[in-house]
Amino acid sequence: MKNLLLLVAISLVLFTCEAPVKNILIDNPSDKEITIEIGDDPVIKIGPHQSKEVEIKFGKRNISVNGGEAEKIHLDKEKDYLLNPLKETYYIQYAKFFTSDKIMKEYFKYNDDKSDFEGMEIGGDYRKIANKILIEKSWKFGLDSPITNEIGIRAKKAKDFYTLKKIHRKVDLEKIIMDSFMNALQEQALDKE
């Protein structure tokens, strides 16, 4: 009987010590398929310009990309992440939504939200994340989700403005900036006619 209780106790301890399994989003913004090995988990393949949510064990793990040298990572079970196996550049956008036009004008009277984007000054508050294999999630709006104004939902809290975060791939943000620049040029050309 003692042996059975001991076996049950050891099994319970081993079971509770096993690393938790969680979903993690892996992004591949490159033009080529990538293969990822995380510990002894099955090999993960992600096509070019694709993201994939996969279930993996959290904790201290080794990760290898495209058969390269293994790198140690620590996935905290209390956090969510974007796995950036190619260590590409991403930007977090801090978009402000104001409760009124008056408050917005007052804010911009004293603040000029400008950011550096690859050596170019752009409007808005953007923070660069470079060379990180794990990006801890702090945003509400993901890579392929448009940012939306939730001021109606949040207005009850009596704040002047709300800041909502969105993550962008560098290449996606470049396209947004270029499209905005081209639209501004077209508007200027139309105004001159």
Confidence class of residue 186 from pLDDT cuts 50, 70 and 90?
Answer: confident
Mean pLDDT of 176-181: 88
Domain-by-domain residue ranges, the chain? 20-83, 90-192
Mean pLDDT of 16-44: 90
Looking at residue 156, what is its pLDDT?
53
How many Å apart are CA 160 and CA 48, to the nearest integer? Answer: 42
pLDDT for 130-170, tens place per residue? 999 999 999 999 999 998 876 655 555 567 888 899 999 99
Looking at residue 34, what is its pLDDT?
97
Mean pLDDT of 83-108: 92
State yes or no: pLDDT of 15 exceeds 50: no
State yes or no: pLDDT of 35 exceeds 60: yes
Confidence class of residue 13 from pLDDT cuts 50, 70 and 90?
Answer: very low
Mean pLDDT over each residue of the chain, to the nearest integer:
87
Instruction: Give the single-character DSSP code of 157.
Output: G
Looking at residue 74, what is its pLDDT?
96
